[in-house]
Amino acid sequence: MSTVISSDTAAEAAEGGGSRGGRTRRGAKGAGRQMHGGKLTYAVLILFTMGSLFPLVWTAIAASRTNTRLAETPPPFWFGGNLFKNLDTAWHDANMGAALLNTTVVAGTIALGTVLFSTIAGFAFAKLRFRFKNLLLMLTIGTMMVPPQLSVVPLYMTIAELEWTDRLQAVILPTLVSAFGVFFMRQYLSQALPTELIEAARMDGASSVRIIWHIVFPTARPAMAVLGMLTFVQAWNDFFWPIIALTQNGNPTVQVALTGLGRGYIPDESVIMAGALLGTLPLLIALLLFGKQIVGGIMQGAVKG
Amino acid sequence: MTRPFGSTAGAAAPPADQGGTAQRPVAKTPDPAGPRRRAWRSRRYRWDIKYSPYAFVAPFFVFFAAFGLFPLLYTGWASLHRVELTDPTHMEWVGMHNYSRLWDDEFFWNALRNTFTIGLMSTVPQLLMALGLAHLLNYRLRGSTFFRVAILTPYATSVAAATLVFVLLFGRDYGMVNWALGLVGIDHIDWQNGSWTSQIAVSSIVVWRWTGYNALIYLAAMQAVPDDLYESAALDGASRWQQFLHVTIPSLRPTILFTVVVSTIGATQLFGEPLLFNGAAGATGGADHQYQTLGLYLYEQGWVNLHLGRASAIAWTMFLILLLIAAVNAVIARRLRKSQ
């Protein structure tokens, strides 16, 4: 967006058009998508926003009440005074404290690994020449279709054999790389990284490792950040495999602990909601801080993918 | 950490462009160490060009082979055996028995049917709403970033957390939904035990989580539609609605197809929502299996009934269904391309 604007202004300056040129340009954009939203647009958008946020706000409300209050009509619409007590119970009795720590480690490692491996593989696919490149790329894209259900039985047999049940590596290793990540970085680097730059570096005798370190990583940094955030969110919320590999009382991730709560581990709805709140809060804070980048990343991935 | 091997040209890292080029003559001057070292260096250079690409893609493929391809094939192998969770190393060959048993199992067909209906009820409204939402977001708006981030919050909420909240909202006696319906005179609905109502409730969780995400994908595609298409449509006297119908939708066709495929894949694997929608009931998907999906059925067979071989057969059946969907999709995509 900003580049478009700046290049337009530059063109204007070259023409010497000044403010008048700007006006005609804006006038021509009246049709279609660039129109201002009307009142109805805002009304509908606000409705959708409320629909998106309401269940989360209500989670907090329910978490601040007592179990008995939640079993009354009408349901509560405002916060009560029980939030910290419920959070405390969820933290200690439902293992949420350990779960949050575990999930941070798991999601962090997976995000780091995915970004690193995706960037170097994406660079190879985007800019280097080697045999079987297209075949391997097709294979990579093909793997995006394979559902996790297809591998759980052998994976379970493997970790049972290795006695990795309730060990964090059991959920980290299988998702440490991602086909989407490789594809995402490839698309980004084929556009953002000029081939001449690599050739020039080669002329200077730079090795491939050196090119990666000094040229690819700095160029790819914005895309790496976006991929890291998207992967972190995904890993944080990963569900199917963790509930098979980990247990509530052993070494749970947040999702495993929440599943335990949902299955009646603690039969107190307000504590369950406190657990849900604890498990969601870190990502909501991340969204608050990096929302713009995450939105940009999803939209970027969409156009290219 | 990764200090490069070369030392002559190396001290100053070639930062981007001119810096490196300027130093080139220095690097090319004959090496005092003689021809042997030069030969070694050129050989190393050739190796680097030739083999390092493989090293760069290797981590991905090694992990994929170990945790993707091998398990995929081994699941197929295990599906031809009797394997019990209690002793996973003991495998007994049974041929196609697991599959024929599946064919005769009414719960398998039930799960297949549920997966289909829940998939339909979650995918169709989700994508239609996302399309409309994206259209609205594509106007010039005040606070557009706020709206975009706000509709993405459900995406950041995990399946488990979202389902736990929705279970409470859909509660029969004290739930918010029934309370609101009561205001307009509709009697309490048993969202957990009804067959259609429970499927609607499960679908609504999926719709809530993914509408905003898909809207952003559509929005990205809409922003890539060239302006002059709208301008010429406006010159021809097309209203906003006609522009949306005749310019936006056709331009979005590939993206729509893409989201349909992704959502269909997601719907085929639906698992967490039905598992936790009645957590106490376990993996049956409701008292009458009324919202048990294929993913849940697989989990029940494998980790509740402890039949890993049968679970593998279900997994492979799901894979075949996905391949079928992919094939249908490819045919449709080709049709569309031809018609254009």
User: B83 in helix, strand or coil?
Assistant: strand
Angle between helices B144-156 and A269-304 (to 10 degrees): 120
The region of weakest confidence among A181-190, B8-17, B22-31 is B8-17
B241 touches chain A (CB under 8 A): no
Q: What is the pLDDT of residue A27?
A: 37
Please give the Cα distance from B303 to B84 (Å, whole number): 10
Question: Taking the domains of chain B in order of start, what are their residue ranges?
Answer: 105-339
**Chain A residues with beta carbon closer than 8 angstroms to that of B8:** 205
Q: What is the pLDDT of residues B59-72, one digit of tens each?
A: 999 998 888 888 88
Q: What is the pLDDT of residue B21?
A: 42
Q: Which residue, among B149, B132, B154, has the nearest Cα to A44 in the 3D structure?
A: B132
Please give the Cα distance from B277 to B168 (Å, whole number): 10
- Whether the pLDDT of residue B23 is over 50: the answer is no
| Nearest residue in A to B64, CA atom | A177
DSSP letter at A216 equals I
Contact A204 B21 (CB under 8 A): yes
B156 touches chain A (CB under 8 A): yes
Q: What is the pLDDT of residue B68?
A: 84
Mutate which of A70, A233, A295 to disrupt the B interface (most B C-beta within 10 Å)?
Answer: A295
- Whether the pLDDT of residue A78 is over 90: the answer is no
Q: Measured at the alpha carbon of residue A12, what is the angle toward residues A6 and A16, in degrees to the nearest 5?
A: 145
Mutate which of B80, B157, B231, B310 to disrupt the A interface (most A C-beta within 10 Å)?
Answer: B157
Which of A27-36, A77-86, A234-243, A262-271 has the largest mean confidence? A234-243
Contact A174 B318 (CB under 8 A): no
**Chain B residues with beta carbon closer than 8 angstroms to that of A210:** 2, 4, 6, 10, 13
Host H or E run for residue B301: none
A37 touches chain B (CB under 8 A): yes
Instruction: Tell me the nearest-neighbour CA distance from B93 into chain A, angstroms.
Output: 16
Contact B148 A244 (CB under 8 A): no
Instruction: Tell me the nearest-neighbour CA distance from A15 into chain B, angstroms.
Output: 22
Q: What is the pLDDT of residue A303?
A: 53
Q: Which of residues 84-103 of A touch B (CB under 8 A)?
A: none
Which residues, at least 6 apart from A84, have a Cβ–Cβ distance to it below 8 Å? none
| Nearest residue in A to B232, CA atom | A31
Mutate which of A46, A149, A163 to disrupt the B interface (most B C-beta within 10 Å)?
Answer: A149
Torsion of CA A63, A65, A69, A72, to 10 degrees: -50
A302 touches chain B (CB under 8 A): yes
- Taking the alpha carbons of B154, B157, B160, B164 in that order, is the dihedral positive or negative? negative
Q: What is the pLDDT of residues B135-189, one digit of tens each?
A: 899 888 888 899 999 999 999 999 999 999 999 899 888 888 888 888 888 888 8
% of chain B residues with pLDDT over 70: 90
- Whether the pLDDT of residue A193 is over 60: the answer is yes
Q: What is the pLDDT of residue B31?
A: 54
B93 touches chain A (CB under 8 A): no
% of chain A residues with pLDDT over 70: 87
Token output for B319: 């894979």
Q: What is the pLDDT of residue B24?
A: 45
Answer for the pair B221, B252: CB distance below 8 angstroms, yes or no: yes
pLDDT average, residue stretch B296-303: 91
- Top pLDDT among B43 and B29 is at B43
Contact B24 A204 (CB under 8 A): yes
User: What is the fold of B105-339?
Assistant: MetI-like fold (1.10.3720)
Token look-up 């299988």 returns: A174
Q: What is the pLDDT of residues A109-149, one digit of tens each?
A: 999 999 999 999 999 999 888 888 899 988 888 777 777 78
Upstream peptide bond of B226 is cis (omega within 30 degrees of 0): no
- Among partner residues A272, A294, A305, which is closest to B152 by beta-carbon distance? A294
| Mean pLDDT for all residues in chain B | 84
Q: What is the pLDDT of residue B192?
A: 83
Q: Which of residues 55-74 of A touch B (CB under 8 A)?
A: 55-56, 58-59, 62, 70-74
Q: What is the pLDDT of residue B11?
A: 37
Contact B276 A156 (CB under 8 A): no
Q: What is the pLDDT of residue A8?
A: 36
pLDDT average, residue stretch A147-173: 87
Q: Cα–chain-centroid distance for residue A159? A: 27
Answer for the pair A234, A164: CB distance below 8 angstroms, yes or no: no
Contact A32 B247 (CB under 8 A): yes
Host H or E run for residue B91: strand B91-93
- Whether the pLDDT of residue A30 is over 50: the answer is no
**Chain B residues with beta carbon closer than 8 angstroms to that of A259:** 160, 275-276, 279
- Taking the alpha carbons of A67, A71, A72, A73 in that order, is the dihedral positive or negative? positive
Please give the Cα distance from A26 to A8 (Å, whole number): 11
DSSP letter at B31 equals P
Please give the Cα distance from A179 to A141 (Å, whole number): 6
Q: What is the pLDDT of residues A233-259, one digit of tens each?
A: 999 999 999 999 998 888 899 999 998
Q: Phi/psi at A94 (nearest 5 deg)?
A: -100, 10
Contact B230 A205 (CB under 8 A): no
Q: What is the pLDDT of residue B311?
A: 92
- Top pLDDT among B136 and A18 is at B136
Which of B236-245, B276-285, B292-301 has the largest mean confidence? B292-301
Token output for A107: 């999601």
Instruction: Tell me the nearest-neighbour CA distance from B204 into chain A, angstroms.
Output: 12
A45 touches chain B (CB under 8 A): yes
- Among partner residues B71, B166, B221, which is closest to A55 by beta-carbon distance? B166
Instruction: Tell me the nearest-neighbour CA distance from B267 into chain A, angstroms.
Output: 11
- Among partner residues A148, A157, A280, which is closest to B161 by beta-carbon distance? A280
pLDDT average, residue stretch B225-240: 85
Token output for A112: 């780091």
Note if the pTM is more than 0.80.
yes
Length of chain A (residues): 305
- Whether the pLDDT of residue B18 is over 50: the answer is no
Domains of chain A: 90-304 (1.10.3720.10)
DSSP calls for A130-192 = -TTHHHHHHHHHHHTT--GGGGHHHHHHHHHHHT-TT-THHHHGGGSS-HHHHHHHHHHHHHH
Contact B71 A151 (CB under 8 A): yes
CA A109 to each of CA A240, B157, B324: distance values in angstroms, whole numbers, following the listed order: 19, 20, 35
Token look-up 């980290």 returns: A172
In this predicted complex, what is the ipTM? 0.82
Q: What is the pLDDT of residues A42-52, one digit of tens each?
A: 999 999 999 99
- Among partner residues A35, A148, A303, which is closest to B139 by beta-carbon distance? A35
Please give the Cα distance from A182 to A132 (Å, whole number): 16
Please give the Cα distance from A129 to A163 (Å, whole number): 42
User: A273 in helix, strand or coil?
Assistant: helix
Q: How many CB atoms lie within 10 A of CB B3?
A: 10
A52 touches chain B (CB under 8 A): yes
Q: What is the pLDDT of residue B203?
A: 95
Q: Which amino acid is at B300?
A: E
Q: What is the pLDDT of residues B202-222, one digit of tens each?
A: 999 999 999 999 999 999 999
Q: What is the pLDDT of residues B89-140, one digit of tens each?
A: 788 888 888 899 889 989 999 999 999 999 999 999 999 999 999 989 988 8
Contact A299 B220 (CB under 8 A): yes
| Nearest residue in B to A263, CA atom | B279
Instruction: Tell me the nearest-neighbour CA distance from B77 into chain A, angstroms.
Output: 10
Contact A31 B175 (CB under 8 A): no
- Whether the pLDDT of residue A158 is over 80: the answer is yes
A26 touches chain B (CB under 8 A): no
In chain B, the N- to C-terminal Cα span, in Å, equals: 53
